[in-house]
Chains A and B, each alone.
Chain A
Amino acid sequence: MKTKNLLYILPLAALTACEPDIDEPSFSAGSADFAKTVAVGNSLTAGYQSGALSADGQINSLPAMIAGQMKQVGGGDFNQPILTGDLASQGAGFSLALAGVGQVETRLALKGTVDCLGTVSVGPVRKGPNYLGLAALAADVSSSTYNNQGVPGAKVTDLDDPAYANPYFSRMRPLGKTMLTLATDLNATFFSLWIGNNDVLGYATTGGDDGVTGPNGLTDAVIFQTKYEAAVTALTANGAKGVVANIPNVTSIPYFTTVPIGTSITQAQADQLNTAYAPYNGGLDQVAMNPALADEAAARKISFTAGVNTFVVSDPSLTDLSGSGLPSIRQIKAGELLVLTTPGDSIKCAMWGTAKPIPGSYHLRADEIQKINAATDAYNATIKSAAQANGLAHVDANARLKELATTGITIDGIAFSSALVTGGAFSLDGVHPATRGYAIIANDFISAINSTYSASIPKLSVGSYPTLEVEQ
């Protein structure tokens, strides 16, 4: 009897076990005040991903993620101009080419595709056809309460442009406002400013074709400095504190690192190509008689061997020899890049890069990359000194993306890299982060704010955000 009782009593005693009790951490805003925040910037601030703005992307936008964490240290509400209807679900990607017919692009989705060789694979394709959504996108839903004032496509030079034509901005703008005056009207206690990416990105994504003057031209470094400093002055005029982020070098994003610059061929294919290019090489030998052109003629010669060869591209920067019947073509040099939109089927099935040159608009030359690097360095120096001069938190997004592209990062047991689709950090457009990528950067913003303002905003759990999904 006695032992039987004990058998029942002892396990019961175990149920009254004490729980471990780790002290609750204390979070604080430090010397900053997040009661009213404003986020100024471009697509990276708006919540753009996979080639379009969509409601899901906006809900998980970078500043919305950060504001959600700031709420734990007295942060206020964070209102966004959330898209509705088709724009919300299909996504709204604006392209100049479609503006004339009032259409927008749907977002990219991960779907099974069949290439020209009949090979089935899962890859990024538009979710649906372009649709008439421009009017709805640009429709005025302006309000004085939007904390997210990210405008996809915006450059530094657009910040104070009262005539800035952009459907994403048209939605938010009461008449006569600029991006900056709209932001300062909010009289925020804390701001974020991440802008300048498009001042170099447009140039880079179009293969550097627009030089420095076209709509996709590189912004001059001096103009950048003037406009950027004016923006910081305006945003801090009411005593607001803030965070700024620098510009990642475009060569560390998958848009420029995914498409290989060459392909492997057989000896027979090489022989065939060398025969085909023999007249071109022979013409160059003639041109080389002119000592001024001898070096270029040697560099332009095209030759294939069995194994991996770099592609042939059109290069408008070459000396025009069309008078001698010679096209401006050469082989890609190591270190040069092809953009993500280079048509893969044309390479696989239409002999682009081998028998036919790849158009220069898909190709970033060494000199263009050098211009991009120089511009990025100059912009980043401006951003850094503006942060220092105004006591603002500074996020080195450039270093973070370089780390992703080289060593990769492991967080919460998940390995991230800058590889498209498989790397986990970038969305399907190869330029904008995916949701988890935005969360990684949001944590960098929080780190910078915490250390600058002696704050302790809790960070995001990166692994709790969704991955890409395959769609039917």
Chain B
Amino acid sequence: MKKLLLPLLGIIPLLSLAGGFQVNLQGTKQTGMGHLGTSFHLGASSTYFNPAMMGLDTNRFGIELGVNFITSNIEFQNSLNGISETTENPTGTPFYLYATYKINDKLTAGLGVYTPFGSSVDWGEDWSGKHLIQDISLRAIFIQPTLSYSINDKLSFGAGLTIVDGAFEINRALPVPIGNNATANLEGSAIAFGFNAGLHFQATEQLSIGLTHRSKVEIELEGGDVDFTTDAALASSFPDGKFDATLPLPATTTLGIAYKVNEKLLVSIEGSFVEWSAYKSLDFDFETETASLKDSKNPRNYEDAMIFRAGAQYSYNEMLDFRAGFYYDQSPIQDEYFNPETPNSDNIGLTAGLSGHITERFGFDASFLYIIGQERDSEYKPAGFGGKYASRSVITGIGFNYSF
């Protein structure tokens, strides 16, 4: 099992599957029921979903790990001529790994490694929007050491530090008046920090409430590499060199409520508030400026967005759980700033999942997620480029858990 998964960890070209470039696939169990898990415990993955719940596990050790396989297609129909173009996105394989250890009845320690943001969009080298974007790959791996503390039987609290390894690569055609195949390649990486905190309240035997906040993380790329390919006549105008840029990963606050209808059925709803308004502009500050190469300011002007989720889990027998869910994920992008670099419309997610408890200690999870990126007619006004966008994604997830 480990042998199979380890090679996959190296390949993390994620897809934009949620508003902006958020990727909500942090637990196979949770994904199967609409990606909710803020208010009820499903295993070590609580490290991400609500660190307050880490202590709710009856076992001393808990481990969960998993991977997703993403197939995604985005279609663009140019408003000028009605010609449709589609992305050739690589298959994405975002992963997660969680471990929790109960230090005593009150205190639990946990560690999570997961990838909640990322994007990999490849429109090809010669499509009609090539001067905006040819391809982009953006990933952020979060490493999160965490502690939780049970204040009493009903109330618990948890918090963790997030250490973020962010990397970014973008290719675009350079809109110069001389030479037809000029391109710019920008690449950089940075380490950044943030935190994840949660509260969990078991109101009654049936009803539980969870509240989490994941902080904003500013990925500050310093000394990224920019590489221009131009006609020789322009080479001195576009010198290769370094650049700085800042990419904000927005704060997310989630409130969830779960209700145990009976011993077999659990239902839950959640609402998340994602502070995308932090993403105002993607600016490239070039170390060497020339008359032709000025710092590049690209307004994004994202707006805060909401995600609504609903899901249910049915325990068929001691061996098998079934799950289903739904979510509505609002796009943070305004119509006049809709850029093919992160072409996210309002998404509807339909999910299903199951878990098999093979032994008392070992189990597997599987999830299936179908995302409908609703058609929208938008333009990136600063570049005078627009049309209709729509997307479909199919994501299958597989996870394993072990506890003792």
* Chain A residues proximal to chain B, CB less than 8 Å: 2-3, 6-7, 10-11, 13-22, 24-25, 27, 69, 110, 112, 122, 409-415, 421-424, 443, 458-461, 463-464, 466-470
Contacts and interface: CB of A to CB of B under 8 A. Distances in A.
A14 B392 contact: no
Given A19-B73, A467-B180, A470-B231, A461 B81 contact: yes
A185 B398 CA distance: 73
A94 B75 CA distance: 48
Contact of B177 (A422, A443, A459): A422
A419 to B, nearest CB: 9
Contact of A11 (B69, B73, B231, B391): B69
A284 B91 CA distance: 83
B385 A412 contact: yes
Contact of B132 (A112, A413, A443, A469): A413
Given A20-B373, A458-B82, A469-B231, A464 B128 contact: yes
A470 B178 contact: yes
A32 B306 CA distance: 48
A15 B356 CA distance: 24
B233 interface: yes
B383 A412 contact: yes
20 contacts: A3-B364, A6-B364, A11-B69, A11-B91, A13-B368, A15-B71, A17-B71, A17-B72, A18-B392, A19-B75, A22-B375, A25-B82, A413-B132, A413-B384, A424-B177, A460-B80, A461-B80, A464-B128, A467-B177, A470-B233
* Dominant secondary structure of chain B at its interface with chain A: strand
Contacts of A460: 80-81
A14 B231 contact: no
Contacts of A20: 73-75, 373, 375, 390-392
Contact of B394 (A13, A423, A424, A443): A13
Contact of B71 (A14, A22, A25, A112): A14
A434 B391 CA distance: 37
Interface string B385-404: 10010111111111010000
A415 B1 CA distance: 53
Contact of A7 (B232, B394, B398): B398
Given A27-B82, A469-B180, 9 more contacts: A13-B368, A14-B91, A14-B394, A18-B370, A19-B86, A412-B131, A413-B132, A413-B383, A458-B82
B176 interface: yes
B129 interface: yes
A10 B78 CA distance: 34
A463 to B, nearest CB: 6
Interface of B: 1, 4, 69-75, 77-78, 80-84, 86, 91, 128-132, 175-180, 231-233, 292, 356, 358, 364, 366, 368, 370, 373, 375, 382-385, 388, 390-398, 400
Contacts of A2: 356, 358
A21 B384 contact: no
A13 B395 CA distance: 9
A7 B86 CA distance: 28
Given A413-B175, A467-B180, A469-B178, A16 B394 contact: yes
A75 to B, nearest CB: 14
A10 B399 CA distance: 12
A21 B91 CA distance: 20
A469 B175 CA distance: 13
A37 to B, nearest CB: 19
Contacts of A21: 75, 390
Max chain B C-beta neighbours (<10 A), residue from A25, A110, A122: A25
Contact of B383 (A10, A14, A410): A410
Max chain A C-beta neighbours (<10 A), residue from B75, B128, B384, B395: B384
Contacts of A411: 384-385
A421 B375 CA distance: 40
B315 to A, nearest CB: 19
B73 A6 contact: no
Given A6-B366, A10-B398, A467 B384 contact: no
A443 B384 contact: no
A147 B31 CA distance: 62
A470 B180 CA distance: 10
A412 B82 contact: no
A175 B77 CA distance: 49
Contacts of A414: 131, 175
Given A13-B394, A19-B392, A469 B81 contact: no
7 shortest A-B CB distances, which residue pairs?
Answer: A413-B131, A25-B82, A10-B396, A20-B390, A458-B81, A424-B177, A17-B394
Contacts of A464: 128
B77 A22 contact: yes
A23 to B, nearest CB: 9
Contact of A463 (B84, B131, B392, B394): B131
Contacts of A459: 80-81
Given A27-B82, A410-B382, A461 B128 contact: yes
A10 B392 contact: no
A13 B129 CA distance: 31
B14 to A, nearest CB: 15
Nearest to B340: A413
Nearest to A422: B177
B180 A466 contact: yes
A421 B75 contact: no
A424 B182 CA distance: 14
Nearest to B393: A17
Contacts of A467: 176-180
